[in-house]
Amino acid sequence: MTAEPPDEPSARFADADLESVFGPASPAGVCAAILTEAKIVLPDIVAPLDAEMWGSDIVAALRSAGIAGPQIVDAAEQSATPQALAMLRVLGAVGPFGLAGAAAAAARRLAARGIGEPGWAAAVGSPEPGECWRYSDGAGLQEAVTTTFRYGEQAHVVSVLVDHTQGGAIQDIWIGPRADVLTRTRQLSAADPQMTFEMISPADARARMERAIAAGECPRQPEEAGNVASRSAILRARVALLPKPARG
């Protein structure tokens, strides 16, 4: 199944390629590399979603480099700079379990010391969930599940392409402005009678996305592999914000 992905956010911060910067570095060296990059990218990060995209890239790079979460948190807290606090805020928002908690706690300690923070820090990681929908091909081989979230007037989508021929694993992840994504999806489904489209509840969307996460990843193209790696942290963080399905 092909689907038109939503537009990308106005800024992306993977250009520095953290993985190539890290190399076989120590946690302190990795932290220093991230903080050096932070001096470059932070002036351009003005919205919580942009910060989370940067944080999700960091999580992917840490995983690839085999760096443990507590080690990077300790190194950042010891640095005690505004860049370190910003990094801890985004890791607290999108980091996996364990890393997120440790980063959030370290961020609170640094903030209590009076270190300056960016304007998005108070809101990052807490968007309001909104409408959700899904569509699939006629044979049910692939399915796209989309959720919407909002920071004030700024809404965005998180969409997952699920490949049921691969056990329901994740083939691709798209994140971008909500804009007219729902309208374009409706138009796409109306033009193809073989396509199934329906609005679903946030709890249903969570259940579908959780099943896909549990099934693993199956990107087919290099771009899809990059999307899945760099956006998985945001996906998991967003799924956790959705209501849990009622137990039968």
What's the pLDDT tens digit per position in 140-165?
Answer: 899 999 999 999 999 999 999 999 99
Q: Look up the domain containing 206 and give its range.
A: 128-241
Within 8 A by CB and 6+ apart from 156, the residues are: 9, 49, 127, 148, 149, 150, 175, 176, 177, 178
Mark the ranges of the chain whose per-residue pLDDT is less than 50: 2-16
Whether 36 is covered by a domain: the verdict is yes
Q: What is the pLDDT of residue 17?
A: 52
Q: Are 166 and 81 contained in the same domain?
A: no
| % residues pLDDT > 70 (the chain) | 89
pLDDT the model gives residue 29: 83
> Are 193 and 164 in the same domain?
yes
Say if residue 167 is in the same domain as residue 90: no
Residue partners of 24: CB distance under 8 A and separation at least 6: none
Residues 213, 140 within the same domain: yes
Indicate the number of domains in the chain.
2
Specify if 11 maps to a domain.
no
Same domain as 187, residue 101: no
Half-sphere exposure of 106 (CA within 13 A, CB side): 30
Asked if residues 78 and 215 have their Cβ atoms less than 8 Å apart, the reply is no
Say if CB 125 and CB 92 are below 8 A apart. Answer: yes
pLDDT attached to residue 59:
92
State the pLDDT at residue 23: 53
Contact 93, 101 (CB under 8 A): no
Q: Same domain, yes or no, for 221 and 179?
A: yes
